[in-house]
Amino acid sequence: MTRIGIISDTHGLLRAEVKPFLQSCDHILHAGDFGDEAIYKELCSISQLTSVRGNIDYELWTMKLPHKERIVIENKTFFILHNIEHLDIDPVAAGIDVVVSGHTHRPELVTKKGVQYLNPGSIGPERQSLPITYAEVIISGEEFTIDFREVN
């Protein structure tokens, strides 16, 4: 079994309530808008991290982060970008199982033509009365689940 923590839009805040979950993950995917290099470094120290740059990530340290990233974990292919409006590939033709994005701070999971489109929401500062959320992906053989978690 592989556990993946999917987060986005930390905006300079890595909530203490989320850290125990992230420490239990085999891999963390961050869909951009770190807001602080300390968060990037902390996530790297917690688990294997794959991340992209968001629209607020413009400091020098963020220049090493790609705008888009493709990664295979177990038997699933993930494509990560910050803003879904910048998706410039056909995920079906590219063999993508899950497109991960952030930017809107709204948790969402939609399936189109067999591809899962996942926005984990935001674990950063509260915004527009939106919930503070992140996602958990479990891969166990051919079994594959995506669940949202909310910070209360």
Question: Which tens digits make up the pLDDT trace of 46-92?
Answer: 999 999 999 999 999 999 999 999 999 999 999 999 999 999 999 99
Residues 6+ apart with CB under 8 A from 149: 21, 133, 134, 135, 136
Give residue 93's domain range: 2-151
**Is the model's pLDDT at 142 over the cut of 90?**
no
* Count of domains for the chain: 1
Question: Which tens digits make up the pLDDT trace of 94-120?
Answer: 999 999 999 999 999 999 999 999 999
* Mean per-residue pLDDT, 108-133: 95
Whole-number pLDDT of residue 75: 92
Residues 6+ apart with CB under 8 A from 99: 78, 79, 80, 81, 84, 87, 91, 115, 116, 117, 118
Structure tokens at 99: 């497109």
